């Protein structure tokens, strides 16, 4: 028998740590589960770190999640039993984190739990949308088809998110470089020039005096500035976690001229694609709306979906309920209305998601096309002001000498 140190969570989410005696890691994990605990760290005591068995791997990447779901879909579609499919995908896993998760899910399945319930062991890797759709697939007997659709959905979502961050990467780099150049000029170049002016007892123009004031303040009070910046960051993080403040901010964000359209388009595409796959997988409309709301990032649009859910629960049509909220494009509402009338809601939602994704890419290209030269001009303007503030007294000095 060996001692294993563990960290686990009970059904209420409370963390529990301690030691457990077992023959193997697998037996220790089973003993913890029999006590209603979900182990996240499990290692044998009195062994070297290199031989320790850690069951606390990092979360799965988007690519790994898509690979797992798609391979499961292929194997199940070929008639392979679920437990064998999970074992096969685990054997092909390229990282220990993936293998450990799949083996843990397989252990739950062998214990009699459905796949949807087993996925709930890892909510960070498989959000609520995944178990909900898998449960619908298990109930309808179309699990392989549902997993294939889910893999397509997850892959498209990761690609869209990558395009958004890729489009914003260059402007962010330009901004960081610009700030670095300005700080270098203010902290290194300006003080050297000021020393020359001070030795000549020259009357300096207002622009130069202002530059010297900023440079001295930066060099003397940089520590205070860092503390203030840290306090501001903490304050913003605190407010960001407050539901009321976050909702108010997100509502204003949607009203901004360009970024508001980007935010609306991003969540509209996620709403359409998520609801399409849930409805197409046989999830009831109320549960589908609940799961779709969890996939959105803008709290104002989440609130709109939840209000629409209550209106649908009361007997209203989905298109009418969404139209009353005013957060979603009119085109989407019309497509949903047509889908409700014809019984092709999932098909038209998929079409809306494709359209919104294409429009979002075009808006991103326009946004970055406008932002990049604006940042370059702003950086050039600031540098030009610094250079002008330095050159003006030098030119005055030359005129006095002549």
Domains located in the chain, CATH noted: 2-51 (3.10.20), 58-126 (1.20.81.30), 130-402 (1.20.81.30)
Of these ranges, 76-80, 215-219, 389-393, the one predicted with the greatest mean pLDDT is 76-80
pLDDT at 19 over 80: no
Whole-structure pTM value: 0.69
pLDDT at 249 over 70: yes
pLDDT at 56 over 70: no
The 10 Å Cβ neighbour count of residue 244 is 9
> Which is more confident, 53 or 372?
372
pLDDT at 11 over 70: no
Mean per-residue pLDDT, 226-245: 90
pLDDT over 90 percentage in the chain: 18
> Which is more confident, 129 or 242?
242
| 41's tokens | 């760290």
pLDDT at 53 over 70: no
Kind of pairing between the strands at 15-22 and 38-44: unpaired
- Of 395, 401, 394, the closest CA to residue 197 belongs to 394
Report d(CA 19, CA 56) in Å as an integer. Answer: 16
Give exposure, 138-172, as e/b (b: 16+ Cβ within 10 Å): beeeebbbbbbbbbbbbbbbeebeeeeeebeeebe
Q: Worst-scoring range by mean pLDDT, 67-76, 123-132, 332-341?
A: 123-132
Task: Read off the pLDDT of residues 334-385 as tens digits, 9 standing for 90 and up.
Answer: 999 999 999 899 899 999 988 988 898 888 888 888 888 888 888 888 888 8
Q: Which DSSP string corresponds to 336-367?
A: HHHHHHHT-HHHHHHHHHHHHHHHHHHHHHHH
Residues 6+ apart with CB under 8 A from 23: 1, 2
pLDDT at 49 over 50: no
Place of tokens 């009338």: 341
- Band (pLDDT 50/70/90 cuts) for residue 402 is low
Are 121 and 105 a contacting pair, CB within 8 Å? Answer: yes
pLDDT at 401 over 70: no
Are 305 and 291 a contacting pair, CB within 8 Å? Answer: no
Task: Read off the pLDDT of residues 158-211 as tens digits, 9 standing for 90 and up.
Answer: 887 788 788 778 888 888 888 888 888 888 877 877 777 766 666 778 888 888
pLDDT at 302: 92
Are 65 and 126 a contacting pair, CB within 8 Å? Answer: yes
- Of 311, 313, 238, 273, the closest CA to residue 133 belongs to 273
pLDDT at 18 over 80: no
- Band (pLDDT 50/70/90 cuts) for residue 55 is very low
Place of tokens 């509209």: 268
- Band (pLDDT 50/70/90 cuts) for residue 225 is confident
Of these ranges, 22-36, 167-181, 308-322, 361-375, the one predicted with the greatest mean pLDDT is 308-322
> What is the average pLDDT value for the chain, to the nearest integer?
83
């Amino acid at each position: 028998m060996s001692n294993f140190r563990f960290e686990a969570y009970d059904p209420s989410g409370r963390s529990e740590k301690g030691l457990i005696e077992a023959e193997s890691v697998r037996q220790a994990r089973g003993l913890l589960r029999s006590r209603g605990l979900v182990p996240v760290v499990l290692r044998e005591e009195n062994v070297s770190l290199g031989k320790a068995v850690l069951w606390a791997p990092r979360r799965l990447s988007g690519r790994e999640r898509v690979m797992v779901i798609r391979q499961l879909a292929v194997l199940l579609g070929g008639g392979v039993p679920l437990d064998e499919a999970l074992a096969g995908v685990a054997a092909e896993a390229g990282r220990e984190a993936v293998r450990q998760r799949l083996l843990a899910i397989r252990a739950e399945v062998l214990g009699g739990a459905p796949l949807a319930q087993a996925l709930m062991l890892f909510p960070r890797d498989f959000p609520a949308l995944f178990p909900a759709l898998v449960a619908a697939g298990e109930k309808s007997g179309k699990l392989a088809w549902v997993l294939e659709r889910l893999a397509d959905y997850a892959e498209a979502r990761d690609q869209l998110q990558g395009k958004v961050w890729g489009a914003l990467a260059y402007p962010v780099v330009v901004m960081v470089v610009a700030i670095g150049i300005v700080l270098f000029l203010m902290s290194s170049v300006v003080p050297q020039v000021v020393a020359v002016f001070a030795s000549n007892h020259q009357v300096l123009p207002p622009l130069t005096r202002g530059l010297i004031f900023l440079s001295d303040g930066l060099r003397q009070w940089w520590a205070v500035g860092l503390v203030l910046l840290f306090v501001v960051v903490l304050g913003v993080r605190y407010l960001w976690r407050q539901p009321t403040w976050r909702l108010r901010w997100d509502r204003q964000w949607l009203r901004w001229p360009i970024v508001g359209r980007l935010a609306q388009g991003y969540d509209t595409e996620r709403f359409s694609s998520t609801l399409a796959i849930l409805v197409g997988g046989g999830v009831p409309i109320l549960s589908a709306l609940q799961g779709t709301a969890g996939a959105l990032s803008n709290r104002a649009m989440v609130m709109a979906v939840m209000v629409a859910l209550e209106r649908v629960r009361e007997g209203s049509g989905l298109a009418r309920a969404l139209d009353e909220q005013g957060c979603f494009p009119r085109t989407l509402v019309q497509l949903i209305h047509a889908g409700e009338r014809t019984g092709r809601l999932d098909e038209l939602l998929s079409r809306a998601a494709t359209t919104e994704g294409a429009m979002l890419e075009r808006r991103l290209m326009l946004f970055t096309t406008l932002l990049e030269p604006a940042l370059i001009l702003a950086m050039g303007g600031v540098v030009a002001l610094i250079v002008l503030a330095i050159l003006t007294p030098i030119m005055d000095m030359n005129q006095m000498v002549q």
